[in-house]
Amino acid sequence: MGKHWADFQYEIYLHGMTGAVPRLPTDLTRLEEITARRLGPGPVGYVAGGAGDGSTARANREALRRRRIVPRMLRDVQDRDLSVEVLGRSLPAPLALAPIGVLSILHPDAERAAARAAAAHGVPYILSSASSTPMEEVAEAMGDAERWFQLYWSKDREVTRSFLGRARSSGYSVLVVTLDTPLLAWRPRDLDQAYLPFLHGVGTANYFTDPAFRAGLAKPVHEDRDAAVMRFVGLFADPGKTWPDLAFLRENWDGPIVLKGVLHPDDARLAADAGMDGVVVSNHGGRQVAGSVAAADALPGIARAVGDRLTVLFDSGVRTGDDVVKALALGARAVLLGRPYAYGLGLDGQAGVEHVIRCLLAELDLTLALSGHATPASVTAADLVEEGR
């Protein structure tokens, strides 16, 4: 029998014979509450908070909870293989770490630690444009491990062009363009604390190190930080963009492009028509539109509309292995994991992120096996029932 992700449980039990128990809980839904006790209210509110009253984040969880797996028996699940092809890349499991900005508010090792943890397990790391570490330094920390770059599509063409060139030459293979953040949403937990790290020049590392960004400053960043912050605020996002603008990205990026934040089948069709390679069905973890459709409720319609033309990925609400199985059954090829790894980072740096990845994949492996699946590919809509239907 080859090595399986599920073997992590025996590692934990065997280690336990020396009296040791895991430093963090193995039920990843508990990480938020522990982080809230240990870290400051500013960072915790920023990570855990959502748009408005938080209803979208709750709906994301509820939409997954409502779907129930129907396990099948006697299907030979002895040898299992979780690997999948996604956008021409071979991944060890249907998982990538979602782009999360400003990780330095959670841990001093920030993006480097998260990226190293992903690299240690072969899971792609998606670096945010709003990272607190420049993309070249994160790339260096990862060696040749799989990394993707998330773009916040700036008002300034030259800054965007420069970001794409830098990402390409530092080995980021897939471009993930986030569409759902043309403006910052109404986020009461941040507003009530007047907490926005970017205004302190935190989460601006890619911009402050960028030649095209710097070319627009009268003085170097270290001589007039406030002016640099104001330039960042002015160009960071662009609510004026429309579908034809995607041609610019297609011209300036020769690898796969994925649009993140798609929730309507017609938008997914427009993405395919624009020559994109994939979409991430996502509502940004409920951080942008309060009252929005839950991401898992939007997923099946989008998979039906474009599943044969685009790679359909999913995030928003994934916390456990069974959530991943449900997302696969609803039509996703792979999922992005968000908040749980940020909590793992805040609680225990790189080791905390590794713990989160290993728990999630062990639980995924076991849930698949115990439901009658030896690979992610055999999961279909027929493996789920919906409560109340």
Q: Which active-site residues does the annotation give? A: 284
Which span sits near ligand FNR by CB under 6 A: 22-30, 63-71, 116-124, 282-290?
282-290
Minimum CB–partner distance for residue 287 and ligand FNR (Å): 6
100 contributes a contact to ligand FNR by CB under 6 A: yes
**From 101, 124, 278, 300, residue interacting with ligand FNR (rule: CB under 6 A):** 101
**By C-beta, is 77 or 190 nearer to ligand FNR?**
190
DSSP annotation of 274: T
**Are 27 and 33 a contacting pair, CB within 8 Å?**
no
* Number of residues written out for the chain: 389
Query: Does residue 45 belong to the site contacting ligand FNR (CB under 6 A)?
Result: no
Q: How far apart are CA 151 and CA 250, in angstroms?
A: 13
Give the SS3 label for residue 378.
helix
Beta-carbon contacts of 206 under 8 Å, excluding residues fewer than 6 positions away, are: 129, 130, 131, 134, 135, 163, 166
Name which position in 166, 260, 326, 358 contacts ligand FNR (CB under 6 A). 260
Nearer to ligand FNR, 55 or 375 (CB): 55
Q: Any residues with CB less than 8 A from the CB of 136 and at least 6 apart, and which?
A: 166, 170, 209
Contacts (Cβ under 8 Å, ≥6 apart) of 247: 274
Size of the site for ligand FNR (CB under 6 A): 22
Look-up of token digits 């491990």: 145
**Listed residue (289, 285, 293) closest to 318, CA to CA:** 285
Q: Give the nearest distance from C-beta 43 to ligand FNR in angstroms.
A: 9
Q: What mask of x and - would describe binding to ligand FNR in positions 301 to 330, judged by CB under 6 A?
A: --------------xxxx------------
Say whether 64 sits in a helix, a strand or coil.
helix
Q: Within 10 A of 85 (CB to CB), how many other CB atoms are there?
A: 12
For residues 82 and 345, which CB has a smaller minimum distance to ligand FNR in the complex?
345
The pair of structure tokens assigned to 195 is 């907490």
Q: Residue 115 in contact with residue 143, Cβ under 8 Å?
A: no
Give the contact letters, 124-143, x = binds to ligand FNR (CB under 6 A), - = no: ----x-x-------------
Query: Which span sits near ligand FNR by CB under 6 A: 110-118, 194-202, 206-214, 334-342?
Result: 334-342
Q: Which of 178, 292, 311, 371 binds ligand FNR (CB under 6 A)?
A: 178
Number of H helices, E strands in the chain: 16, 12
In this structure, is the dihedral angle defined by the CA atoms of residues 255, 256, 260 and 263, taken in order, positive or negative?
positive
Q: Residue 156: CB partners within 8 Å, gap ≥ 6?
A: 212, 213, 216, 235
User: Is 190 a binder of ligand FNR (CB under 6 A)?
Assistant: no
Q: Is residue 339 near ligand FNR by the rule CB under 6 A?
A: yes
In this chain, which of 35, 56, 150, 160 binds ligand FNR, going by CB under 6 A?
A: 150
Asked if 284 is part of the footprint of ligand FNR (rule: CB under 6 A), the reply reads yes
- What whole-number distance in Å separates Cα of residue 298 and Cα of residue 294? 7
Q: Is 344 in the site for ligand FNR (CB under 6 A)?
A: no
> Does 257 interact with ligand FNR (rule: CB under 6 A)?
no
Closest CB to ligand FNR among residues 231, 287: 287
Q: Among the candidate windows 31-39, 107-115, 241-249, 335-343, which touches ligand FNR by CB under 6 A? A: 335-343
Positions touching ligand FNR (CB under 6 A) are 46-47, 98-101, 128, 130, 150, 178, 260, 282, 284-285, 287, 315-318, 338-339, 342
